[in-house]
Structure 1
Amino acid sequence: MPEAPEKFNAAMTTWQEWQDAPWGRLRYAIAEANLARHLDDLGDGPLRILDLAGGDGGDAMRLAARGHHVTVVDHAPAMLAAATERASTAGLTELITCVRADVTALPADLAAGAFDVVLCHNLLQYVDDVPGILATALAPLKPGGLFSMMAINRHSAALSIAVRETDPAAALAALGTDRSRTQTFDSAVTLHTAERSSRSCKASAARTYGTTASAASATTSPTTRENTTRRSTRTLSNWNSPRPRCRPTCTQLGSSS
């Protein structure tokens, strides 16, 4: 079950300390560098970016500093208050909009927002219905847009325990499970592999854009939302289009927050 917003509110101080620590700084540096490799391909001018479960704006601040317009969606009031304060301090209030909402039930204006980029960087580990969340996340993406997904890396969990905790027995046990707990929020989480995340993204893109599962490489699709919603059984041959609908970029994190 998704965690209640109160749990994230209560851990604000710990969360901010983690962001300032080496693991936290590395996580945001990796995300920024990975996105920078793709954003230039989306054209000139500021982009409209939707940051789902964006928390206190760690990713949003970096993107707004590059001149992009970022909408941060989160269900924890304390996180959004911190994001608003950070934007004000950085002089980025005109570029950052904070919206309190459940990601599983986005407001209509966001769900149909035709964003250039959608971020899903701190969400998958907390939800049970990953395909459903991904379908919701993909829906606001405009033709040719970029979907960026990050997840805690299941393959690194055992290595982290072995190296950082020097506990071989616990590391061996970690190899056989996809469940863990975050230290910051003391929350149960599901760990993902790059292969599993990629398959889930492709399958969700197929359902969201009316493609067949076998065609869901998430690199091409029909060029209009009307076509994809009305024609839900397109074949591979009909699916080819010169304009990409969704180009996923997936980053696996090596430690849980």
Structure 2
Amino acid sequence: MSDPMRPPASPQHPPTASLRSDSSRSRASLRTAVVWEVLQDALDRRVKATGRDALDVLDTGGGSGNFAVPLARLGHRVTVVDPSPNALFALERRAAEAGVADRVKGLQGDALGLFDVAERGGYDAVLCHGVLEYVDDPAEGIRNAVAALRPEGVLSLLAAGLGGAVLARALAGHFTEARQALGDPDGRWGEGDPVPRRFTAEQLTALVEGAGLRVGAVHGVRVFADLVPGVLVDTEPGALDALLQLEAATAELPAFHSVATQLHVLGEAPGAAEG
């Protein structure tokens, strides 16, 4: 996936509104726009609260840097922990090409062994995107992510949604597989399902709250984007922007969380006095 944002004119004082406008022009932004909006707002609040221009961000399972590199372009220091050497090599090359190699660090590891390589309690924000689907113990994965946060830090959690998979299988005519996913404890539609585990919004918020965070927001991601034919979005004048606006308008509505392809939960850590 290409970077969803272009580099700002000044990393220390990024033109946030311009970045969001640029991202809306990309087809790939249908998959990331809602998450970026929530994440950037959360980081902006942390910048104001801390009085620091640059935050320390940990991206668990961050791969080749789809989020890490744009965050570094905004001036933040980003540590990526990923089990794949190939992904980390691609991250290093991508960061160098973007001119942010000094603000991006890649470490080989995983969510369950996070503190073998990362600092406990050392980050203003932790990204846990596309990780819980694959770890053996999602609750432990979340606990580790939370333990990496500083007081009043924020957790950005993105995971596969159960309802979106059920709907997609049904609309493709695979009704038996849709029914299988609906009744399976892990939300899988069969042996050929490439995703080991899916979640409901209630399950994700319970994991976040169980790890000691307050749930700041829940958003449905790709509510419509994966169901609309690509040719319609690419050829119909104004369709991309209209679809992005529809995604944004429905993202916070609980009625649509149950059919979203992915679910995004923003968790907020208590302050030092509260902890």
What TM-score comes out, normalization by structure 1 length?
A: 0.68
> Counterpart of 1:104?
112
2:33 is the alignment partner of 1:29: yes
Quick one: distance in 1 between partners of 2:178 and 2:117? 45
Q: How far did residue 101 of structure 1 move?
A: 1.4
**Paired residues of 1:73 and 1:99 also in contact (CA < 8 A):** yes
Taking every aligned residue pair, what percent have the same amino acid on both sides?
A: 31
Q: Tell me the secondary structure at the aligned position of residue 126 of structure 1.
A: coil
Q: Deviations over 1:202-240 (max 9, x none)?
A: 1122xxxxxxxxxxxx23xxxxxxxxxxxxxxxxxxxxx
Equivalent position of 2:42 in the other structure: 38
The one-letter code sitting in structure 1 at the alignment partner of 2:147 is A
Count of aligned pairs:
196
Cα RMSD, aligned residues only = 2.7
Tell me the CA shift for residue 37 of structure 1. 2.1
Q: 2:96 aligned with 1:68, yes or no? A: no
- Please, which of 167, 174, 178 is the counterpart of residue 171 of structure 1? 178
Structure holding more helix per residue: 1
Distance 1:74 1:23 in 2: 26
Q: Distance in 1 between matches of 2:133 and 2:27?
A: 17
1:72 Cα deviation after fit: 0.5
CA distance in 1 between partners of 2:181 and 2:189 (Å): 12
Q: Does the CA-based 8 Å contact 2:160-2:199 persist in structure 1? A: yes
Give the Cα–Cα distance (whole angstroms) in 1 for the partners of residues 27 and 176 of structure 2: 24
Displacement, 1:106? 2.4
Instruction: Please name the residue that 2:188 is paired with.
Output: 180
Query: Which segments of 5 or more consecutive residues in structure 2 lack a partner in the other structure?
Result: 5-25, 222-259, 263-275
Query: d(CA) in 2 for partners of 1:193 and 1:114?
Result: 30
Deviation at 1:136, TM superposition (A): 0.8
Counterpart CA distance in 1 for 2:95 and 2:193 is 27
Indicate how the Cα distance of structure 1 residues 187 and 158 shifts in structure 2: closer, same or farther if over 3 A, else same.
closer
Distance in 2 between the 1:114 and 1:94 partners? 18
| Matched position secondary structure for 2:211 | helix
5+ long unaligned stretches in structure 1 = 1-15, 206-217, 220-246
Using structure 2 for the length normalisation, give the TM-score: 0.64
2 CA distance for matches of 1:56 and 1:106? 18
1:189 corresponds in structure 2 to 196
For 2:105 and 2:220, locate their aligned partners in 1 and report how far apart those are by CA, in whole Å: 27
Corresponding residue to 1:118 among 126, 130, 136: 126
C-alpha contact 2:220 2:261 (8 A) present in aligned 1 = no
Distance 1:85 1:103 in 2: 23
Structure 1 residue 125 displacement after superposition: 0.5
Distance 2:189 2:81 in 1: 23
- 1:140 positional shift: 1.2
Query: Given the alignment of the two structures, is residue 200 of structure 1 paired with residue 204 of structure 2, yes or no?
Result: no
2-structure distance, mates of 1:130, 1:30: 23
Kept in 2: contact 1:154–1:193 (CA 8 A): yes
What one-letter code is carried by the residue in structure 2 that aligns with 1:27? R
